Structure 1
Amino acid sequence: MPRSGHAADSATTRRRQPRPVVRTVTAVAVVSAVVVGGSYAAGLGPFARGATEPEPAALAQARAFLADWAAGRLPKAADRTTRPTTAQEVLRNFTTGLDIHRPTLTAATTPTQAEDDTVSVPFTATMPIADLGTWTYRSKLPLRKQGDGGWKVDWSLSVVHPRLSGTRKFHLAREDADAAPNVTDRRGVSLSGDRFPSLRPVLDQLDTGTGGGGQRGAIQLVDRVTGRVERTEATLGKKPDRPAREPVRTTLDATWQAAAEKALASGAHGRNASLVALRIDNGEILAMANSPSSGFNRAVSGTYAPGSTWKIVTSSALLLKDAVAPTDIVDCPKYLTVGKEFHNVETSEHRNATFLKDFTESCNTAFISLRGKLGDRELGDVAGKYFGVGQRWHLGIPSYDGSVPAPRDQTEKAASMIGQGRIQANPLLMASVTATAVSGTFHQPSLTHGNRDTTTTTPLPHKVVTPLRTMLRSTVTDGTARVLSGLPGGIGAKTGTAEVSEEEPNNGWLAAHRGNVALACVVEQGVTGGGSAGPVIRDLLTAVPTDPS
């Protein structure tokens, strides 16, 4: 059942050094698609019959083998050879680790016939290596006539490449130019994936302007046992052809970023989690951290139900219509049925509670009881018009900017009042929602400078901002965000607990503000917001007691 954010519970690579680093990997990938040079049926034959002229059927079989191999139809290609089982295994393993995609294999039009009645068909292999260019080489297909009169490729390792053998194979050695030296924080401090692991996926997405034509690498022939490099088959990529531009200066603050990474590493307890901190006055992102630190940047691209942190938006919609005031009595029973039964965390209840109390204790049933005060599309309209939710944001990296679909029925409308149903958000969006709520003005979040802003929003009126600030502060002093109550700075916050499924623990959320900073954190399977995301935010604010300059 959907639940509110309630306190209790305790919470839970790949960039290298800036200098180029050679990474050696063994030759993956089943070869996929193909372009094969022509076919007999297309008019390149027939060959004249003669004592030393090859038969057209041999050339047709060679082309069919190349087509199947390159298209990834490895069993079919292997069946065209004299040793199908071995051939299929070799074809599958040959490109392992070479990052080859969509090769071109082209048969020559001038095969030769040897004295032993085998036919040799030369071919050219053009192997695109991801991010590096193409490796092109020539080899030959020997074909032998079978007892049934048909032709098959006379299998050996040299069919694939003339230097491939039982003792030698191919490796790809990449030389990566790390983007880290070209990216700095707001004050010019260099940001690297080694120092700030959570920034690795972010640095990958930034245009660093290194101007050097990207990565370089080499295809190497190595000893299968010792790994010793016997020769370099091809050098790929290119050297920088122009000087690097000025470093990319981000809005990040190295102090906040370091504190965020540390707080999340110690507080996530091995669970997936993420957080964002941004400036309230202009939307500049100060820190974004993920656990685990590598891979998906869930802080800005995640899609989560925001749970009861969404009650900031729901309250705004109700206050805009004068549908409720903080002092109004809105009963908070244990259960409320709207198509299905909704309840509060631990089936708590607060009889004759004020709306302020409902907010600070994150009462689901009270908020759901007010659903008739809003039109079916009104919650989404308010989210977009005042908070920029669902509009296209331009941060400087890709982001997911929220979704508030119109409810399909009353049950879904009830769920949307408490941040469930089909509403989706992430820590970036909820930090921005909090910043807008306490300032009254939406600012498009940004990670780099000079980004386009195509959003259109309307400021929240004082009659909404003033009670929201009071309600958020009361949640810290007297409600579910008491985990932050011992910290200075007049902190306001909203907890959230978002149901994932009947089988999994709920996600824990907390959105907060202090001074000119707004923050949001989600801990997957954190059970409650106050118990899981709360300690992470507390540790971050403790480590950085002052606002950024």
Structure 2
Amino acid sequence: MTHPHHAGFPARRRGTKSRIALATGLVLALAVGTAYATELGPFGDPDGPDPAAVGTARDFLDDWAAGRTGQAGALTSRPQEADRILLGFTEGLEITKPTFTVDEPVLREDGSVRVPFTAKMPITDLGTWTYRSVLPVSRDSDGDWVVDWSISVVHPKLSATEKFRLQRGRTSVDFVDRAGKRLSAETHPSLAPALNELAGQSGGGPRGEIQRVNRLTGAVTATEVSFSSGSVNPPKEAVRTTLDATWQTAADKALSHAGGKNAALVALRVDNGEVLAMANSPASGFNRAASGTYAPGSTFKVVTTAALLMKQAVRPDQVVNCPKSLTVGKPFQNVEKSEHPGATFRDDFAESCNTAFIGLRGELSDAELKEVAGTYFGVGQKWGIGISSFDGSVPVPKDETEKAAAMIGQGKVLANPLVMASVTATAVSGTFHQPKLVPNAKDRTETADLPAGTVTQLRELMRRTVTHGTASVLGGLPGQVGAKTGTAEVNATDPNNGWLVAYRGNVAVACIVEQGITGGGSAGPVIRDLFSTVPGDPT
């Protein structure tokens, strides 16, 4: 299970087997993204469970909750099998953000420890499946505490003969695109998360159940839990959206170029923010296009550049050297350690030079990126697009290292394809239009227009990135295409995410490919295919 907010988990150094985690009799809640307690306290009974045993159980659930199934498996007696089962369990049932509550452990006569826990498994668009299970923990041949692995650890009724299956029912709401063409999860699979949420808001929400089935025959042996939402009287008329069936179909097709990696794309109209396509790969599950939380990497340099240009802190033809690396509390470098001595700022933008942008950080106050992102691009304000969405975050940096990272869309700056498609549309039009998925979406944002001169410069810089820079993959397409690539670091070990934002005519697009390494190489072919398939503007 990989989540984009998922992309922000730091790599941890911890000698889990040797670490002593103090234990308590109090309940400890474990959840993805939560700050966990670091002290569990003594049980009080010197003959009670070894705190290190409880620490192993806690770490196992911690890693499972965060989607680190390989690390969770390593804490068991059968690492590879545990990794495989944990990964298949959450992905196959479309579980996102599981949480676990640990109950008081029990010391057994043989010296092993049983750690009961309650699992809460949110099923995408349906509800939360809650159940209880137990982690048996004992010492291995080296004397270290490990989870005694069996398939029933995941769920007491999971076995070698029976497994669980998610069976979804069709929502009782019909949807149409901007021209009245019917849309559904069957015709446009990656719209399922958005349409299911819209259905729930319209009074005819999704239905489904977790079934227990025979592994050999596939026969249903029991229904473990059922879900339903919405009223018994859904709307009689189809719900109209801003989507365009042609663009949506093309977006779904274009994501095939992501090579099976997790990816997402949003295309919207520049003149009014209406979402034309919202596509996710895989098609079912988490709506990473609108709710993902990713570092936008160098695509955020569009905002940084706007801030610099408006302040007249730099001119496109001004020489801003691009050294191979620059240390600001920690070393920063360019992709493939490239350098461009004597480069102009125009070249720095087109070649996506990190060190040149970081070198200009003193031209902006600590709060200036946050202010520009919110005031002119609407980033960080509360949007009302028609479904739940993460609307970006640009915190004020706490030190020079964070400020350096923010200049290039790293550190604590977060966005998703919806946010970055909107940033692109704002940059090339000068006016922020809150994105919306339904025509009657409420807009409570307050923004100001970018200066006309800044817009002209941003368009020219993005165009040059296609003709003489890192977005050359979009060269040769009809129309005046402008773009900005991004390579966003995830952590110290995983491959970088690849980003690309682009505009052509009245359409702005943003695409992310998780672990795509470079934007031009991973997201570039996706957007090229989209623009090639739909050569003109939407009507």
What TM-score bracket applies, with the shorter chain setting the length? 0.5 to 0.7
Contact persistence 1:440–1:460 (CA under 8 A): yes
Q: Is the alpha carbon distance of 1:131 and 1:485 closer, same or farther for their aligned partners in structure 2, counting shifts above 3 Å?
A: closer
Taking the aligned partners of 2:214 and 2:484, their CA distance within structure 1 comes to 60
8 Å CA contact 1:435, 1:518 repeated in 2: yes
**8 A Cα contact 2:268 2:275, kept in partner:** yes
1:144-155 equivalences in 2 (<5 Å):
none
SS in 1 for 2:199: coil
Cα distance in 1 for residues equivalent to 2:215 and 2:468:
67
Letter in 2 for 1:251: T
Counterparts of 1:84-483 in structure 2, within 5 Å, are 176-179=169-172, 182-207=174-199, 242=233, 244-265=235-256, 267-483=257-473
The residue aligned with 1:115 is none
Residue 219 of structure 1 deviates from its aligned partner by 12
CA distance 1:218–1:284, shift in 2 (3 Å)? closer
Cα deviation, 1:520-542, whole Å, max 9, x if unaligned, reads: 00111111100000000000100
Please tell me whether the aligned partners of residues 368 and 414 of structure 1 are also in contact (alpha carbons under 8 angstroms): yes
For residues 217 and 350 of structure 1, the distance between their equivalents in structure 2, rounded to whole angstroms, comes to 58
In the TM superposition, residue 276 of structure 1 has moved relative to its aligned partner by 0.4
Task: For residue 176 of structure 1, report the CA deviation from its aligned partner.
Answer: 3.1
* Structure 2 CA distance for aligned equivalents of residues 475 and 467 of structure 1: 12
Structure 1 225/260 Cα, relative in aligned 2: closer, same or farther at 3 Å? closer
The one-letter amino acid paired with 1:513 is Y
Query: Percent identity of the aligned residues?
Result: 62
Q: Point out where structure 2 has 5 or more consecutive residues left out of the alignment.
A: 1-92, 94-124, 128-161
Aligned to 2:514: 524
Q: Specify the alignment match of 2:530 in structure 1.
A: 540
Quote the offset at 1:244 in angstroms.
Answer: 3.3
**Alignment length, in residue pairs?**
381
**Counterpart amino acid of residue 246 in structure 1:** E
Tell me the residue number matched to 1:162: none
SS at match of 1:290: strand
Task: Map Cα deviations across residues 195-240 of structure 1 (whole Å, 9 max, x no partner).
Answer: 11101111111036775697599999x99999999999xx998998
CA contact (8 A) 2:211 2:220 kept: no
Deviates more, 1:491-500 or 1:184-193: 184-193
Q: Which residue of structure 1 aligns with residue 104 of structure 2? A: none
SS in 1 for 2:487: strand
Residue 342 of structure 1 aligns to a residue in which SS? strand
Structure number with higher relative contact order (C-alpha < 8 Å, ≥ 6 residues apart): 1
Q: Is the 8 A contact 1:319 1:464 kept in 2?
A: yes
Q: 1:331 to 1:245 in 2, by over 3 A?
A: same
Partners of 2:501 and 2:208 in 1: CA distance: 44
- Cα–Cα, structure 1 residues 341 and 186, in superposed 2: closer, same or farther, change >3 Å? same
What SS does the corresponding residue of 1:206 show, helix, strand or coil?
Answer: helix
Q: Cα distance 1:360–1:238, how it changes in 2: closer, same or farther (>3 A)?
A: closer
Residue 247 of structure 1 aligns with an amino acid whose one-letter code is A
- Tell me the distance in 1 between the aligned counterparts of 2:472 and 2:322: 20
Amino acid at match of 2:402: E
Displacement of 1:177 in angstroms is 4.0
Pair 1:294–1:242, CA change in 2 (3 A): closer
Q: Which amino acid aligns with 1:447?
A: L
- Measure the CA separation in 1 of the matches of 2:412 and 2:239: 37
CA gap 1:227/1:503 in 2 versus in 1, 3 angstroms: closer
Q: What is the CA distance between 1:465 and its match in structure 2? A: 0.5
User: Could you tell me whether the CA contact under 8 Å between 2:196 and 2:206 is conserved in 1?
Assistant: no
Give me the CA root mean square deviation.
Answer: 3.4
Shift of 1:178: 2.5
Describe how 1:39-58 pairs up with structure 2 within 5 A: none
The one-letter amino acid paired with 1:461 is P
Q: How many angstroms does 1:497 deviate by?
A: 0.3
Q: Distance in 2 between matches of 1:268 and 1:389?
A: 27
